Amino acid sequence: MEGKNQAGAGQECRAIVLVGAQWGDEGKGKVIDILAEKMDYVVRYQGGNNAGHTVVIGDRKYVLHLIPSGILHDGKICVIGHGVVIDPKALIDEIELLRSQGIDCSERLKISDKAHVIFPYHKRIDELRESRRVKGRIGTTKKGIGPCYADKVARVGIRIGDLYDKEYFSARLEDNVEEKNSMVKNFERSEGFCSSEILEEYLNYAEYLKGFVTDTTLLLNDALKNGKAVLFEGAQGTFLDVDYGTYPYVTSSSSTAGGACTGAGVGPSRIDRVIGVVKAYTTRVGEGPFPTEFDPGLMEIIRKKGGEFGATTGRARRCGWFDSVLVKNSVDINGIDQVVVTKIDVLDELEKIKICVAYRYNGKTYTSIPGDPRFLDNCVPVYEEYPGWMRDTSGITSHEDLPAEAVRYLNRIRELIGTEIMLVSVGKSRKQTLIYK
Ligand code: GDP
Ligand code: IMO
Ligand code: MG
């Protein structure tokens, strides 16, 4: 089809967007690492170092926060698009950590000159907002993500490209520091921030990053025109999206598929396919509604078996049953063509497994989520219950060897969300991944 990047019948997809279809931590890092093998470019388009994407290769574990998970494959170009917010110190630390592990980013990492920069005052404001509130606390990662995006939208932000014009950068920074200090000093007895100190520190970061910075929009559009395969790596998950998620308990970026277009500068007509990653159950970190959350007993079991602790903050993740209402909504909002179901093995020991198929609220049954802010807090999930498989699936290498109960569970999920299952993951490593038919 013209306008699509060779994505006609029987042809390979050239531009794929991969998104988390729940509240993040679905296993996107593992799936990106697998898909990256066939791609030329892997692109982050939103979020920042609030993300934590884990890739396990052999006995080595890598946790990527800002750098696309494709970096672990030789020769892949990894792009941080302008929709990402960058803490330069965190980025440099990540580049250096990878270098110490034998992975050289110097020729393969490209950073947009239009990405916004996280400054120390963003992190402080993030912390202050969280500590001031008891009720209504979001449970952020305290990485300064929200305040940095707020500055971007308020048109007072500072972008990576600005760091290379000292006079311009210095004037904008001074203005920002003055404004932020009035806020910080109001909340706590502190000296506030010193703009000349920040200026010096950030000019050093800019010098380090100079060779990586470029016009990534041009780079990606040229790549697509030249038939290169590009994978857009979503961070967070659909229900953390600032527009679509469980507002205000969300992150501050567009973590749904549309964010790939605005955050990487690639038009919707160029995207061939959207893949959603879902866990075989549900987790969320931080505050906010969670209708299918387990009771403490089961929570403990699944958290332990699934290693459900944040890859960025180490916080214990909240765990619950698979919520097909949420994921079905996610399929619509992202235009998901196929899903990858991860962590099936974590459910191996359960005698009974539930799937939420609807909600009850004020005497009515719902299969979608209305805008009522109290809905998700007060609705009661309607469950279907299935027998567990009570067998170890972590060593299975073909979908034909999956226990019948696991197939039944997966097929019911497929039916409820109305989407093809592409892959099923039964463990952390690359080889613990099955093509599902
Ligand atoms: P992401 O943010 O979506 O990339 O996910 P995280 O890396 O934050 O969390 C997913 C966790 O689950 C990581 O520790 C992965 O190594 C692990 N993981 C991924 N797939 C599987 C799986 O199929 N089974 C098990 N047991 N662990 C998995
Ligand atoms: P990955 O990419 C899970 C959550 C935080 C908090 C909310 C807002 O690894 O899936 P923020 O610091 O972004 O302002 O926090 O969003 N959050 C995530 N939860 N996985 C993530 O990323 C997350 N990134 C942010 O816990 O509830
Ligand atoms: Mg994560």
Q: What is the pLDDT of residues 124-141, one digit of tens each?
A: 999 999 998 878 899 999
Judged by average pLDDT, the poorest of 333-337, 368-372, 402-406 is 368-372
Judged by average pLDDT, the poorest of 67-71, 158-162, 258-262, 367-371 is 367-371
Q: What is the pLDDT of residue 7?
A: 40
Judged against a pLDDT cut of 50, whether residue 345 lies above it is answered with: yes
CB 264 within 8 A of CB 223: no
CB 325 within 8 A of CB 357: yes
User: Which domains occur in the chain, in start order?
Assistant: 13-109+215-435 (3.40.440.10), 116-212 (1.10.300.10)
Nearest to residue 13, comparing CAs of 44, 35, 46?
35
**Ligand that comes closest to the CA of residue 306:** 1
Judged against a pLDDT cut of 70, whether residue 1 lies above it is answered with: no
- Per-residue pLDDT, averaged over 408-417, amounts to 98
Q: Is 25 a catalytic residue?
A: yes
Judged against a pLDDT cut of 80, whether residue 5 lies above it is answered with: no
Helices (H), 74-165: 88-100, 120-132, 145-153
Strand residues in 15-118 grouped as ranges (E): 15-20, 41-44, 53-57, 60-64, 77-80, 85-86, 109-112, 116-117
Encoded tokens for 398: 């073909």
Number of neighbours of residue 70 by Cβ within 10 angstroms: 27
1 vs 55, higher pLDDT: 55
% the chain with pLDDT above 70: 97
Taking the alpha carbons at both ends of the chain, their separation in whole angstroms is 26
Judged against a pLDDT cut of 70, whether residue 152 lies above it is answered with: yes
Q: What is the pLDDT of residue 9?
A: 39
**Ligand that comes closest to the CA of residue 250:** 2
CB 308 within 8 A of CB 319: yes
Probe target for ligand 2 pocket from 140, 232, 241, 315, with the most ligand atoms within 8 Å of CB: 140
Nearest to residue 48, comparing CAs of 301, 227, 286, 236?
236
Judged against a pLDDT cut of 50, whether residue 6 lies above it is answered with: no
Nearest to residue 392, comparing CAs of 343, 344, 345, 341?
345
Query: What digits encode the pLDDT tens for the residues 33-59?
Result: 999 999 999 999 999 999 999 999 999
Q: What is the pLDDT of residue 3?
A: 42
Judged against a pLDDT cut of 60, whether residue 10 lies above it is answered with: no
Residue 437's pLDDT band, with cuts at 50, 70 and 90, is confident
Q: What is the pLDDT of residue 12?
A: 65
Q: What is the pLDDT of residue 364?
A: 96
- What residues flank ligand 2, with Cβ below 6 Å? 20, 24-25, 50-53, 138-141, 143, 145-146, 235-237, 240, 251-252, 285-286, 311
Residue 185's pLDDT band, with cuts at 50, 70 and 90, is confident
Residue 194's pLDDT band, with cuts at 50, 70 and 90, is very high
Q: How far is CA 182 from CA 178, 185, 193, in A?
A: 6, 5, 10
Judged against a pLDDT cut of 70, whether residue 238 lies above it is answered with: yes
74 phi and psi, to 5 degrees? -55, 140
CB 284 within 8 A of CB 242: no
User: What is the overall mean pLDDT for the chain?
Assistant: 95
